[in-house]
């Protein structure tokens, strides 16, 4: 392999690693966020029984991986997990360079998700998010939902007829994290309807217009970027 093809391979791998970073961030933002909700506030006993917490955590992590893997499956096929990446290296599915790049991307994604959770949420289960945090939470979860629609339904592939399942489960996973903080609007109509028939009781109703709209832009932006690079990196994953 010549230097040029080495470099072109590196470029493809680096692009895939960026998607691994984004995917790992989405997976762990929803998953670790849900765990934070399950653990409850240690100062007030708001949580349920042990068994409820375990079921809740399992649901959060399981669904977060299910939907984030589904969204990015055709891009990198990536499980957002260095141990899976190691196994793929061992069975010869990926090459050492990819392995290294993917592991770095996954570690950075995990740090990004943990950092975002620290910044966006006021610690274990509390409703005390301020409007700015609320806007960003709404933006991130709407971005996930937008990506679900664009990657599963707009893109045509074998699983497209089942896009509604993936979209519904994305909404499920986003709720598991965000219900406790913002009520998980991520749909201005969903927030507007009840507010309209009850006389707009909440003064911060604008959060559910601004946050999800930003999510529309962010999701559409990510999709446009992926659209450029996707088909080259994993042409076999249909």
Q: Where in 183-212 is the site for its own copies (CB under 8 A)?
A: 184, 186-190, 192-194, 196-198, 212
The first and second tokens of residue 24, run together, are 């790992």
Residues between 99 and 158 with contacts to its own copies, criterion CB under 8 A: 103, 106-107, 109-115, 118, 125, 142, 145-146, 149-150, 153-154, 156-158
Q: Which of 7, 42, 168, 232 binds its own copies (CB under 8 A)?
A: 168
CB 223 within 8 A of CB 147: yes
Q: How many CA atoms lie within 13 A of 172 on its CB side?
A: 17
Of 218, 22, 33, residue with least CA distance to 118:
33
CB 38 within 8 A of CB 156: no
Would you say 15 or 143 has its CB closer to its own copies? Answer: 143
CB 88 within 8 A of CB 2: no
Stretch that binds its own copies, among 5-13, 75-83, 128-136, 199-207 (CB under 8 A): 75-83
Pattern 21-60, its own copies, x by CB under 8 A = ---x---x--xx----xx-x-----xxxxxxxxxxxxxx-
Residues between 8 and 27 with contacts to its own copies, criterion CB under 8 A: 24
**Least CB distance from residue 59 to its own copies, whole Å?**
7
Told to check if 84 binds its own copies by CB under 8 A, we report: yes
Q: Which of 6, 10, 86, 123 binds its own copies (CB under 8 A)?
A: 86
Compute CA 46 distance to the chain's CA centroid, rounded to the nearest angstrom. Answer: 26
**Least CB distance from residue 133 to its own copies, whole Å?**
17
Do you know the residue count of the chain? 238
Would you say 9 or 114 has its CB closer to its own copies? Answer: 114
Angle at 35 between CA 80 and CA 134, to 5 degrees: 95
Direct distance between the N- and C-terminal alpha carbons of the chain, in angstroms, rounded to an integer: 27
């Amino acid at each position: 392999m010549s230097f040029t093809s080495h470099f072109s391979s590196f470029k493809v791998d680096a692009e895939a690693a960026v998607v691994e970073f984004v995917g790992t961030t989405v997976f762990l933002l929803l998953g670790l966020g849900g765990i934070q909700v399950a653990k409850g506030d240690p100062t007030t006993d708001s949580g349920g029984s042990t068994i409820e917490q375990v079921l809740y955590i399992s649901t959060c992590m399981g669904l977060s991986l299910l939907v984030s893997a589904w969204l990015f499956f055709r891009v990198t096929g990536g499980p957002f997990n260095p141990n899976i990446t190691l196994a793929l290296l061992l069975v010869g599915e990926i090459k050492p360079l990819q392995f290294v790049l993917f592991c770095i991307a996954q570690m950075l994604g995990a740090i990004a998700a943990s950092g975002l959770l620290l910044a966006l949420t006021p610690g274990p289960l509390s409703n005390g998010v301020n409007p700015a945090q609320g806007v960003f939470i709404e933006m991130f979860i709407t971005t996930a939902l937008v990506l679900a629609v664009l990657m599963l339904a707009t893109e045509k592939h074998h699983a497209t007829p089942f896009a509604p399942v993936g979209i519904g489960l994305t909404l499920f996973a986003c709720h598991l994290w965000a219900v406790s903080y913002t009520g998980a609007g991520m749909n201005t109509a969903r927030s507007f309807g009840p507010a309209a028939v009850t006389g707009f009781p909440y003064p911060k109703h604008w959060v559910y217009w601004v946050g999800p709209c930003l999510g529309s832009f962010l999701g559409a932006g990510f999709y446009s970027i992926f659209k450029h690079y996707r088909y080259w990196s994993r042409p076999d994953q249909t």
